[in-house]
Chain A
Amino acid sequence: MNDMITICRNTYTRVLRTRSLYVLLAAVLILVAVAHLYNDLTAGRQKELMYDAGAALLTIVGLFTALVVTFDIARDLREKVVMTLLSKPLGRGHYLLGKFFGVVWLVTVNMVILTAGILWILHWEQGAWRLDFVKLAFATWGAMIMVTALGVMFASFLSELPAAVLTMVVFVAGHATEAFYRAGSLPGHFLFSVLPGFWLPDYKLEFGNGVPISSHIIILSVLYTLAYSGVLLSLAGIFFHKRDLA
């Protein structure tokens, strides 16, 4: 357990040393804030633009942060760091979990900073706290945990670029599994149940339009992402166990 925490902490601190991360966070907050100036371009819809831009950029930052895991694992494999680590009494599963939790930690910190910043900007623009944005951010956080787990799974048997690309492809395609659910057929229902449903924790359209979504649904959505992350991590463990690291 301690080994896993060490890997987790190392992953977190190593990525945190990247300066581009801070630039990214600052750039996002500036982008959301300048949407305030888009009054003429949006024909008076700059408030909506700020909210939607905030929600979209929160997802993008979460995605980029989550994708770090694919590069991090691949780099460990390339630089043979994994061999050193696994030569100690450390299970492959623990290594993957350590990496996963390290990136989740980073995703969480980034999203908390961004959510607080965007909330403040929205309050500055609109004169009221848009607390529904917290619900939205929480659901997005759940989706990003799933993306991280997806990244871990692909990185467990692929090199960094294919793993990152596939993670993105599955993230995009995962928003379309609603079609399987709506199809109503048995095969469709099966596919919907086993494939990653990234549309389930996605409430940007609803919150952006002021449709009230109960906290109960948001919590269930996040629980789904946690459960599905478990599926992906289990698969990652199986694939990584079978992988020849020599």
Chain B
Amino acid sequence: MNSKTPTTAVVFLVITLLASAFLANRVAELRKDQTVRAPQSRGILSAGFSKFRSQIAWMRLIQLRGSMPNVTKENAALLSSKYDRLTDLDPMFATAYEEGALDIGWQDPEGSLRLLDKAGSVSQLRSWRIPFTAGFLAKTRLNNTSRAVKYMEIAVKQPDSPQYVQRFLINLKADLLAKEKDPVKILNLWVDYYLGGEGRAGAPGAPGMGRMGASFAGHAGEDSGKKLALNHISRLSADIIAQDQKNLLTERDSDAKKRFQDRIDEVQKIVKQVYAGTHICQRCYRPYNSGDEFCVHDGNRVEPYGICPKDKTVVRGAYCHKCGTKAN
């Protein structure tokens, strides 16, 4: 037997212990931001099998849920704890958060929001669906608009969030602003959405059309969300101007009259910006087609355009296709 072995072993032990301590700290430091964990999750001794166990727990949960004819208050508490446990095992189980929140949302909306808040605390989990579901539940189940706005603001910042999330957010903000009785602020929300968050001044537009005209022409027929925004802009503008024009007729105070007139001017300026290069009805503020003499939306008489001055044909372009005269 080699009597020197223990000495060699001791030396080797010290060297490897120092090396492993250094490496352990280095790896732990590097892993700090990459380790998946829910900050408030309970520690589970799962020996590295937590992901696989979460799949088993998910299958069992599906079976359990299938055995319930409906979700009662008692069931909701049980389901809530199961979903909580499942998301402790895998804090990035996005489906479990969403399904769980919707499952118990009717009976226990606060519980479902707790579950979704837990998902929100997992930094690696980037899903617009989770804050969107939270915002939806906060609005529909708790009627808490300001809380819903906070969730939706998170949802719109997530990658791949669809346009309707942003529209939902605008509607929620409009709900909040409605209490302030300032419809111009609501109008501005839709204008900002329509202009794609670029702001309303300084950005370049298509040559000869102006930026707003380019924006309008660019989206037409493509984006139903933006069409919807235009509808809101037209409707709100028409409502604001009609109301203020009525107020102008009845109001005696000159300061108030000035305020109404200023607001009319402001709204008309906004409408001109949005519909730059487009002919719009001066009552409902919606665009009309070449050759139209009356607005198809409200029957208001409109100034026709795109008519050949010579033979009165509705032209298809800048020049008459029958006689070649430049259209007016």
Contact = CB atoms under 8 A, between A and B. Distances in A.
B52 to A, nearest CB: 4
Interface in B9-34: 9-10, 12-13, 15-17, 19-21, 23-28, 30-31, 34
B231 interface: no
A221 to B, nearest CB: 5
Interface string A156-198: 0000000000000001110110110100000000001110011
Contacts of B36: 205-206, 209, 211
Contacts of B90: 205, 208-209
Interface stretch (B39-47, B232-240, B249-257): B39-47
A48 interface: yes
A112 B276 CA distance: 67
Interface stretch (A20-28, A117-125, A127-135, A223-231): A223-231
Given A206-B34, A227-B23, A49 B55 contact: yes
A59 B51 CA distance: 13
Contacts, number: 153
Interface string B35-73: 110000001011111111011001100110000000000
B62 A93 contact: no
Contacts of A238: 6, 9-10, 13
Interface residue range, chain B: 35 or more
A216 B30 CA distance: 10
B48 A234 contact: no
A234 B13 CA distance: 5
A42 B59 contact: yes
Given A93-B2, A234-B13, A224 B23 contact: yes
Interface of B is mostly: helix
A193 B23 CA distance: 9
A231 B30 contact: no
B145 to A, nearest CB: 32
Contacts of B95: 43, 45
A224 B23 CA distance: 5
B59 A38 contact: yes
Given A92-B2, A211-B34, A42 B48 contact: no
Nearest to B23: A224
A41 B59 contact: yes
Nearest to B9: A237
B124 interface: yes
Given A179-B43, A211-B36, A42 B12 contact: no
A143 B13 CA distance: 19
A133 B9 CA distance: 36
B17 A211 contact: no
B92 interface: yes
A15 interface: no
7 contacts: A56-B51, A91-B2, A91-B5, A176-B45, A192-B28, A205-B50, A231-B13
Interface of B: 1-2, 5-6, 8-10, 12-13, 15-17, 19-21, 23-28, 30-31, 34-36, 43, 45-52, 54-55, 58-59, 62-63, 90, 92, 95, 124
Q: Which 5 A-B pairs have the closest CB atoms?
A: A230-B16, A234-B13, A56-B52, A227-B20, A224-B23
